[in-house]
Amino acid sequence: MSRNDLYDVIVIGGGPAGLTAGLYSARARYRVLILEKEDFGGQITITNEVVNYPGVGRTTGRALTQTMRQQAQDFGAEFLSAEAIGLDVHGDVKTVHTSRGDLKAFGILIATGASPRKLGFEGESEYAGRGVAYCAACDGEFFAGKEVLVVGGGFAAAEESVFLTTYASKVTVLVREQDFTCDAAVAAAAKNNPKIGVRYQVELQGVTAGQGGLREASILNRATGQTEMWKPVDGGTFGVFVFAGYVPATDLVRGVVELDDYGYAVTHGYLETSVPGVYAAGDLRAKNLRQVVTATADGAIAAVELERYAKRMSEKTGLTPQRPVSCVYEQSTTKTDAASLDATAPTPTPAPATNRNADAAANAVRKPGELFSDATRQQLNVVFGRMSRPVTLALELDDTPLSTELRGFIDALVALSGGKLKSTVDDGEYEKDDTGRAVFDVDSVLPAARPCVRMVVDGEPTGLAFHGVPSGHEFNSFVLGLYNVAGPGQPLGDDLIERAKSIASPLSIMILVSLTCTMCPETVLASQRLASLNPAVRAEAYDVSHFPELKDQYGAMSVPCIVINRGGEQTVEFGKKSIPQMLDLIGA
């Protein structure tokens, strides 16, 4: 075995626990690989506000974990986007079987976390994304003026039920126990809200749908054993939001290490499992508190123990992995401009959006009449400075205020670009209604909905477009799209680039998004990254708040909604997708 093929430690899972373990191991000069099948950062990336991480006053989940990843990378940790599909943990050198090949290491850290719990009520899977949802910030606006049921009695159920009153006419919380199981102060906010009704000792058994969405719910009274059929007061459609906790992602190690009755990994002393050299950290292990701070603590503790284990195995076998000898941190400890960048690409601060935080802090430093704050302009300057080719933003407008807004947004962006961007306006004829709004064919593969901005390089369309105004959470993915088509673009592994370029037949990807959704940008970015690498791929995003016809066309009551068309064959998917997941989805 070559030392180039061997790692000291392989970390399976790129959430806070895994990233912290990678940071600690790499800093100690051990060769460590962090393996992640989805989005580096884990579940916390969909959290819009983190206020209880020590030393950090207020941030987003994505920003926090981007910093963690950058730190790990700067110390020399390696990363691979792939899925672990099996383990061979016998012997001094262990094997991790992945979707991209086998990997060898002395020690393994399982940090795969947990995923939202599915309750299994009748209709849950069938209507997921079409009435049944798991993210209030992403999907709440689809139920504006409608009633919603919230299932759960913990922290998330209490907090999100309050947030849903922003949209819903009434929120009914179904609590299985005799009371909420979260902190009394959090529960009180839900109990005392006039738009929220709470029912205790009840259980959602099923939902049925009719024209336009969910129409009826079956609710079991656990105290009496009686079942009732529930409908909204207005007799219309409604939504169901499930906040029933998480289940540990331990299928990979089932039958390999000891699990408790609930499926959590059992750890001892310093987080070792029942198998020597295999450790567990984060939300997948049995413990009494699952927070980002406890996950990072787990990662640090496990990393130190794995370093000792790897050292013993190296001495025993005579094998020494090719460990990092220098790193970015040592080369330039005073470098600061990388702080404004993602571990793989520039990450500008999002422009203001309508969400639960209202971006008050950003507005505080934005001068009257300006679209972008000083901090955003500084970060945009970094992006524009790194773009190797100019990009033309081709606008397709109509006679609506939204087109005026898009024109102003793009003009402001062009003015900041130092010549890296320019814009054009399509003055061609189009059909419009009495209000001046462009009429488009909802049956088209990629409907020509206006207003729209398309990215053009060297006179050729790139396949990237946004229909609406790419502000809010989509500002980030839009700017990264510019960076990717202009070059050099986000660094990707050779395997992912090869898979993207292997797409031969024309492929169209429509992504229906909401500017308040924290999961949509990752999906837009992944889809459009593929389009930036392959001219056979087109990836266009549509803000459904402005194009409700598309929401109705695909029965979408959750975002992101992904419509893939290849050779006339169409598939509809829901949920956040990373680049590897998008490649898997399209069979590349």
When pLDDT is averaged across residues 167-193 and rounded to a whole number, the result is 95
- Side-chain half-sphere of 123: how many Cα atoms within 13 Å? 21
pLDDT digits (tens, 9 = 90+) for 250-272: 999 999 999 999 899 999 999 99
- DSSP 8-state code for residue 266: P
At residue 200, the pLDDT reads: 97
Confidence tier at 72 by pLDDT (50, 70, 90):
very high
pLDDT tens digits for range 456-472 = 999 999 999 999 999 88
Residue 375 is predicted with a pLDDT of 76
In this prediction, residue 2 carries a pLDDT of 63
pTM of the model as a whole: 0.66
Q: State the helix-helix crossing angle for 374-386 and 401-416, rounded to 10 degrees.
A: 70
Instruction: Answer with the residue of higher pLDDT: 100 or 478.
Output: 478
Q: Is 570 left (phi over 0), alpha (psi -120 to 50) or beta?
A: beta
Q: Which two tokens stand for residue 399?
A: 């006679």
Using CA atoms, how far apart are residues 160 and 155, in angstroms rounded to an integer? Answer: 8
The mean pLDDT value of the chain amounts to: 89
Tell me the per-residue pLDDT of 482-520, one tens digit each, with 9 for 90 and over. 999 999 998 888 889 999 999 999 999 999 999 888 889
- pLDDT for residue 35 is more than 90: yes
Q: Is the pLDDT of residue 1 over 80?
A: no
How confident is the model at residue 512, as a pLDDT? Answer: 96
pLDDT for the residue 360: 38
147 — phi, psi (to 5°)?
-85, 150
The rounded distance, in Å, linking the Cα atoms of 165 and 158 is 12
Contact 350, 341 (CB under 8 A): no
The proportion of the chain whose per-residue pLDDT surpasses 70, expressed as a percent, equals 91
Inform me whether the pLDDT recorded for 364 exceeds 60. no
Contacts of 462 (CB under 8 A, 6+ apart): 454, 455, 456, 485, 531, 532
- How far apart (Å, rounded) are the C-alpha atoms in residues 86 and 89? 10
pLDDT tens digits, 535-564: 999 999 999 999 999 998 998 888 999 999
Burial of 490 (0-12, 13-18, 19+ CB in 10 A): middle
Lowest pLDDT segment from 191-205, 360-374, 573-587:
360-374
- Structural domains of the chain ordered from first start: 3-114+248-335 (3.50.50.60), 132-244 (3.50.50.60), 340-585 (3.40.30.80)
Q: Which sign, positive or negative, has the C-alpha torsion 292, 244, 170, 513? A: positive
pLDDT at 335 over 50: no
Beta-carbon contacts of 510 under 8 Å, excluding residues fewer than 6 positions away, are 445, 446, 447, 540, 541, 542, 550, 562, 563, 564, 565
Q: Which residues contact 404 (CB under 8 A, 6 or more apart)?
A: none
The predicted pLDDT at position 331 comes to: 59
Give CA 205 to chain center in angstroms. 29
